[in-house]
Structure 1
Amino acid sequence: MRSVILGSGSALPKRVVSNAELAEKVDTSDEWIVERTGIRQRYIADETETTATLGTDAAKRALDAAGMAADQIDLIVVATATPDNTFPATATKIQALLGIDDCIAFDVAAVCTGFLYALSVADSMLRGGNAKRALVIGSETFSRILDWEDRTTCVLFGDGAGALVLEARDGDAGILTTKLHAQGKHNNLLYVDGGPSTTQTVGHLRMKGREVFRHAVVNLAEVLEETLGEVGLSNSDIDWVVPHQANQRILDATAKKLGLPREKVIITVDQHANTSAASVPLAFDVAVRDGRIKRGDLVVMEAMGGGLTWGAAALRY
């Protein structure tokens, strides 16, 4: 019994913000941003767009792709670091917006690795018989927690959502394995300087970029090899890597360390910037819809985020 992906979907805010537009308000330039990150634009949510509304739109598209009605879902897991409210869980708001009367619904918080944590939890629950069909959603409005006077961080992030519909089925397709890690001793490398139990404010994102980069390249390469080893596969078996879209330099360095050609790496960071927990499912959906990822392909997803947390998943689509 495996968790099979029946459909994917994604959603982006209406407003596109180019590097040039950002440079009008921040001490930066298009050349500086592209050279250091590969980012050319990002999507920024307006006051009517929230983590819940973006997640709902992505979920609806995933359900349409799966040919499934919302009331057939009995589990919703949302990965987010920017929930609409401290509580209730954003998953319950999405449940209501989808018109689902009753199902399991909760959030997972592991920042940029959040979608892989959510995917692993949903996979375990499906294989364990707690549910039959699940929506796994990564949705973020990171623009709400950015310090727009800090050019080292505000140029890196954007808003968006991605979703997968999973169903427990027998067969060769589906999630083969997931591997998750965390090292809380590095929690000061990427964090938000606020929270209900400390400052009672939302706070802003803070990052020590060079140290995060160093950990990312090592950790992502190791967890990808660990994941493949778990199911007896090698790098040459991979059809596509769908990485967290943090920075073009990290993507290139990780691929080089693994000996993977760039042509096998799905890259959307130039168009979407870093959308945290939304980036992996968003990039996956883009590649499915443009025809790159096809049924039967071996796909590896990987991500690293604040915590530090990191992980990977291998699946047969």
Structure 2
Amino acid sequence: MIASPARTVSLTDVAGYLPGAPVPAEFYTEVPGAQDQLRDNAMFRVPRWRHHAAPDESNVDLIERAAQPLIDRHGADDIRAVDVLLVHSQLPDVPFVGAGTEVAQRLGLRPEWLIDVANAGCASFVYMLKLARQILTTTTARRALICNAQNVAGQWFIQPQVRRMAQAAIPGDGCGVGYLTTSAERPVLDVTTRHLGEYAGQMRHELDDGRKYWQPGSSEIRIGFTSDGVTQVLERGNRLVPDVVRELCGRIGATPADVDVLVTNQPNRTFLRTWHERLGVSAQRHPDTFDDCGNLFGAAIPVTLDRAIRQGRVGDGDLVVLGGFAHAGDFAGAAAVRWTH
């Protein structure tokens, strides 16, 4: 059990970046041979648009571009003073090497704490929020930058054979970043997380020739979805996110009815609808970017929160809850922030 923090930490700001021009659904649905047995499954209902990172656009490029609005709003000196840098890259650019050190170099940071976070997937923004808050409340660190780079859509899912599969049309690329400070302006009220080892290893990749992904060959890497596996993930995801949001609300003395803005990861429309219905949160209070951006994996929460703020959907004093689950259900988490203008 982690003790309650003695120092208040705020999610001071968020920003997002979407690469390139929007890519229409027809890029996938009208490719010759675009059929498989999962095409009509609720898990793979196609969003209208998504974005693709350029072939030469790295995780570091995405993060640098997402962080620029923070630099513009808070000044380069404040961002360079970041003590804690946490980075989650959906698809690492280089084996063995995380993106964090190069992010620090690009942004002019010299953080005491630099961690490339490999787990927590689609809910990694929540997990990094928890990690950053713990470091900021138990050390001399005063500022943190948490970064989610999603770059799989324009790389994995446009491979010629994979592009024909139902799974390919769902992801989109983008990046979201959060800036945390030891202040009380937009306090992080609490964070709850669950690591669910019983579901570990159930999200797998496949290659037709059976090789290891680093071995030479011509088959294309893809996610190993099956009808039974998809059914199980739908059931788990439908349950896990409402469960962690209710747990979080209980910890801060609130109920789901008190949530003004709910921001989640966004694997598909079914999850989005089920989550706000089970929590009794109206669709208007549950913004998403799915039809414009697809499944942004870990970047979905900060990108969607950034857009909701800029659209005026987050009011002064609103209780904002961020929640999600990862992979086949091996992680789930939720965080509460009191947002002020």
- TM normalised by structure 1 equals 0.90
Partner of 1:316: 338
* 1:300 and 1:312 in contact (8 A); partners too: yes
Distance in 2 between the 1:117 and 1:22 partners?
A: 32
Aligned length: 312
Note if 1:13 corresponds to 2:19: yes
* 1:7 and 1:63 in contact (8 A); partners too: no
Report percent identity of matched pairs: 24
Task: Tell me which amino acid in the other structure corresponds to 1:209.
Answer: V
Note if 1:142 corresponds to 2:152: yes
Query: Deviations 1:173-220 (Å, cap 9, x if unpaired)?
Result: 3111111112233234423348xxx92529432333222111001011
Partner of 2:198: 185
Distance in 2 between the 1:286 and 1:248 partners?
A: 18
Task: Tell me which amino acid in the other structure corresponds to 1:183.
Answer: L
Question: Where does 1:6-45 land on structure 2 (aligned, <5 Å)?
Answer: 6-25=12-31, 27=34, 37=45, 39-45=47-53
Distance in 2 between the 1:292 and 1:120 partners?
A: 24
Distance in 1 between the 2:166 and 2:324 partners?
A: 21
Post-superposition offset of 1:35: 10
SS state at 1:190 partner: coil
Distance in 2 between the 1:152 and 1:21 partners?
A: 12
Distance in 2 between the 1:263 and 1:168 partners?
A: 31
Query: Deviations 1:94-117 (Å, cap 9, x if unpaired)?
Result: 111112245422211221121111
CA pair 222-102 structure 1, distance change in 2 beyond 3 A = closer
Question: Where does 1:41-60 land on structure 2 (aligned, <5 Å)?
Answer: 41-60=49-68
- 1:205 corresponds to which of 223, 233, 251: 223
CA pair 173-98 structure 1, distance change in 2 beyond 3 A = closer
Partner of 2:277: 256
* 1:304 and 1:311 in contact (8 A); partners too: yes
SS state at 1:226 partner: helix
Post-superposition offset of 1:15: 3.4
CA pair 200-22 structure 1, distance change in 2 beyond 3 A = closer
Note if 1:133 corresponds to 2:140: no
Show structure 2 runs of 5+ residues with no match: 1-6, 216-220
Task: Tell me which amino acid in the other structure corresponds to 1:274.
Answer: N
CA pair 296-66 structure 1, distance change in 2 beyond 3 A = farther
SS state at 1:282 partner: helix
Query: Deviations 1:134-185 (Å, cap 9, x if unpaired)?
Result: 111111111233362452311111111001111012x373111111112233
CA pair 32-192 structure 1, distance change in 2 beyond 3 A = closer
SS state at 2:241 partner: helix
Distance in 1 between the 2:46 and 2:187 partners?
A: 32
Show structure 1 runs of 5+ residues with no match: none
Residue range with higher mean Cα deviation, 229-238 or 202-211: 202-211
Distance in 2 between the 1:117 and 1:191 partners?
A: 22
Query: Deviations 1:231-282 (Å, cap 9, x if unpaired)?
Result: 1011121110001011111011111111111111011111111111111111
Note if 1:168 corresponds to 2:174: no
CA pair 160-279 structure 1, distance change in 2 beyond 3 A = same
Distance in 1 between the 2:234 and 2:334 partners?
A: 17
Task: Tell me which amino acid in the other structure corresponds to 1:79.
Answer: H
Distance in 2 between the 1:178 and 1:150 partners?
A: 39
* 2:12 and 2:185 in contact (8 A); partners too: no
- Structure 1 segments, 4+ long, off by >4 Å, are 31-36
- TM normalised by structure 2 equals 0.84
Query: Deviations 1:84-132 (Å, cap 9, x if unpaired)?
Result: 2233221111111112245422211221121111111011111112411
Partner of 1:95: 104
Partner of 2:250: 229
Residue range with higher mean Cα deviation, 173-182 or 263-272: 173-182
Task: Tell me which amino acid in the other structure corresponds to 1:85.
Answer: V
Distance in 1 between the 2:223 and 2:156 partners?
A: 6
Bigger share in strand: 1
Partner of 1:277: 298
Tell me the C-alpha RMSD between the 2 structures: 2.5
Q: Rg bigger for which structure? A: 2
SS state at 2:115 partner: strand
* 1:6 and 1:65 in contact (8 A); partners too: no
Partner of 1:118: 128
SS state at 1:142 partner: coil
- 1:83 corresponds to which of 92, 107, 116: 92
Note if 1:293 corresponds to 2:314: yes
